[in-house]
Amino acid sequence: SIISVSTGRSWCADSYNPRPGVMENVPSSRDYNGGFQVSLIRKDLSIALEAAEQAEAESKFGEHAIQMYRELEKKGFGKKDFGYVYQYIHKNFEV
């Protein structure tokens, strides 16, 4: 609640939290069903990375992010909401 009304405010904090149980009626509280799919965010990241390459711009964070979404697709989570990456990070990285 404090973050949502301070300089830390973000869309994830007050509208679309990726952590299950924090907000009602968002994909994370519906087993990541019914949102913007992993496969679609991966496609969009591919387009963004192609543009970055054409502009000779580095995009290390984008490259890292697309690897995570590719991995989720390989594991059969392509139709889950893109916020499912929260579960991937939580299970695979020390946070």
pLDDT one-digit tens code per residue, 41-95 = 999 999 999 999 999 999 999 999 999 999 999 999 999 999 999 999 999 887 6
CB 79 within 8 A of CB 37: yes
pLDDT, residue 2, reads: 76
Q: How far apart are CA 58 and CA 10, in angstroms?
A: 25
Of the candidates 42, 33, 31, 84, the residue with the CA atom closest to the CA atom of residue 64: 42
Neighbours of 82 (CB within 10 A): 23
Res. 1: pLDDT tops 80: no
- Candidates 41, 19, 47; CA nearest to 32 is 19
